[in-house]
């Protein structure tokens, strides 16, 4: 690994002058060049209109697809751009046809919005939901996953890193089991991993993957993408195809465009698409291997320091370390500790029971404070945050 350009990355991030920013799993701070790209595109739209701007910037917009494909080891036509990870996830689920008795395997790490969609499917399509819990180490139980797989398994939904916990789940090993033992469709939520870890869809073996732009990719809100493997695209049928992503014959037969673009809708913020492309290129220039190593370094240091704080419990201790570090406490209300950190200009996230959903049930926990670090966070910032938590906990003793 090359020496990480910490000074440049911090210099490119104006918001770091105002706080210790540790809510990167929520919405990270954008590099200045991303904001400049968005503003430049909007300025062009002001001059020539939205349609003409899209034509003039067609090559730049196309490059966004190519850059995302490079980042995750896919082909360009396996990428569809979405307004969010949730919209992409719903696009895949809604493109599947379920019948009574079909089984869906999900884990306790599933995001609450995904859980709600699956529960609705259970009501309206009468599918059966099988839940894979965590093993003794806190990751998804691969033996349980294999036992749940059957001829009736239609879909397996896995999450790489849960939003309420920083554990990195063995999704590649899970993919091997799914593909060897079943014909199930493998959908991976990589919302918290794309941008902070090396993700290769071919190695993972997923049929589809969803991600957002606003978290570790440092892109704009209102962006996300879906990867759909070429060989899996015809297993899905978009419920409501967009007129710009399909054609209608004289006999009213609908023909979908080739590639993952069939899952897109025509209307989206192209300024944001351009900004997302710039954010992905920024990450690629740093190198995903370097980003992953830097985040692990900072995260591991923060965990090590927090382990020494009396009254604080860490939510995860396994290797590898992700950038999400969660703490809980039986000694003091987390609301008060969270507010104390805010008074010190520490930007974190308090996740309550409804946000943690099944992940909290499996651990079990009721709430956590999530300190999610990025490569631009420093060891000194970790020390400051830990010192503030330590002094606060001592005052409560």
Report the mean per-residue pLDDT for the chain.
Answer: 94
The angle at the Cα of 270, spanning 264 to 275, to the nearest 5 degrees, equals 110
Q: How confident is the model over 337-358, as pLDDT tens digits?
A: 999 999 999 999 999 987 778 8
How are the residues of the chain apportioned to helix, strand and coil, as percentages rounded to the nearest 5?
45, 15, 35
What's this model's pTM, rounded to 2 decimal places? 0.95
Residues 6 or more apart whose CB falls under 8 angstroms from that of 251 comprise none
Q: Which CATH fold topology does 6-29+287-396 show?
A: 3.90.1150
Domain boundaries, the chain: 6-29+287-396, 33-285
Across the range 364-374, mean pLDDT stands at: 93
**Residue 242: its pLDDT value, please?**
87
Token representation of residue 317 = 């201790």
Q: How far apart are CA 14 and CA 320, in angstroms?
A: 30
Closest CA to 332 of 310, 307, 354: 310
Q: How far apart are CA 125 and CA 142, in angstroms?
A: 27
Q: How confident is the model over 53-104, as pLDDT tens digits?
A: 999 999 999 999 999 999 999 999 999 999 999 999 999 999 999 999 999 9
Q: How far apart are CA 81 and CA 276, in angstroms?
A: 10
**Residue 2: its pLDDT value, please?**
65
Q: How confident is the model over 106-117, as pLDDT tens digits?
A: 999 999 888 888
Q: How confident is the model over 182-214, as pLDDT tens digits?
A: 999 999 999 999 999 999 999 999 999 999 999
**Residue 283: its pLDDT value, please?**
98
Bridge partners (DSSP) of residue 210 are: 189, 226
**Residue 349: its pLDDT value, please?**
97
Residue 168, pLDDT above cutoff 60: yes
Q: How confident is the model over 227-254, as pLDDT tens digits?
A: 999 999 999 999 888 888 888 889 998 8
Residue 359, pLDDT above cutoff 90: no
Top-level CATH class of 33-285?
alpha beta
- Percentage of residues in the chain with pLDDT exceeding 90? 82
Residue 1, pLDDT above cutoff 60: no
Across the range 295-299, mean pLDDT stands at: 97
Q: How far apart are CA 6 and CA 318, in angstroms?
A: 26
């Amino acid at each position: 690994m090359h020496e990480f350009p910490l000074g440049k990355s911090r210099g490119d991030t104006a918001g770091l002058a105002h706080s210790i920013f540790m809510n990167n799993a929520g919405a990270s701070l954008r590099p200045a060049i991303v904001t400049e790209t968005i503003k430049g595109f909007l300025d062009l739209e002001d001059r020539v209109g939205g349609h003409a701007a899209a034509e003039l910037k067609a090559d730049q917009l196309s490059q966004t697809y190519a850059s995302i494909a490079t980042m995750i080891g896919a082909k360009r036509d396996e990428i569809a751009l979405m307004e969010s990870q949730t919209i992409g996830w719903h696009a895949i689920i809604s493109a599947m046809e379920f019948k009574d008795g079909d089984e869906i395997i999900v884990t306790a790490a599933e995001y609450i919005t995904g859980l709600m969609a699956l529960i609705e499917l259970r009501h309206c399509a009468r599918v059966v939901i099988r839940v894979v819990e965590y093993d003794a180490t806190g990751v998804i139980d691969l033996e349980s996953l294999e036992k749940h797989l059957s001829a009736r398994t239609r879909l397996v939904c896995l999450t790489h890193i849960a939003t309420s916990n920083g554990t990195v789940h063995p999704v590649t090993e899970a993919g091997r089991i799914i593909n060897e033992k079943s014909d199930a469709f493998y959908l991976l939520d990589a919302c918290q991993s794309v941008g902070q870890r090396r993700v290769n869809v071919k190695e993972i073996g997923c049929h589809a993957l969803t991600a957002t732009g606003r978290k570790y990719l440092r892109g704009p809100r209102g962006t996300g993408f879906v990867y759909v493997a070429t060989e899996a695209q015809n297993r899905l049928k978009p419920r409501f195809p967009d007129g710009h992503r399909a054609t209608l014959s004289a006999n009213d037969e609908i023909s979908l465009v080739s590639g993952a673009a069939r899952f897109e809708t025509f209307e989206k913020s192209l300024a944001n698409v351009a900004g997302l492309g710039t954010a992905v290129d920024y990450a690629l220039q740093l190198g995903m291997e370097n980003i992953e190593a830097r985040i692990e370094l900072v995260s591991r240091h923060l965990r090590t320091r927090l382990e020494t704080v009396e009254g604080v419990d860490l939510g995860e201790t396994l290797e590898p370390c992700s950038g999400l570090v969660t703490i809980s406490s039986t000694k003091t209300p987390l609301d008060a500790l969270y507010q104390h950190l805010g008074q010190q200009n520490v930007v974190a996230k308090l996740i309550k029971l409804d946000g943690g959903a099944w992940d909290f049930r499996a651990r079990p926990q009721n709430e956590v404070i999530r300190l999610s670090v990025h490569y631009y966070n420093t060891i000194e910032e970790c020390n400051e945050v830990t010192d503030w938590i330590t002094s606060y906990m001592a005052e409560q003793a």
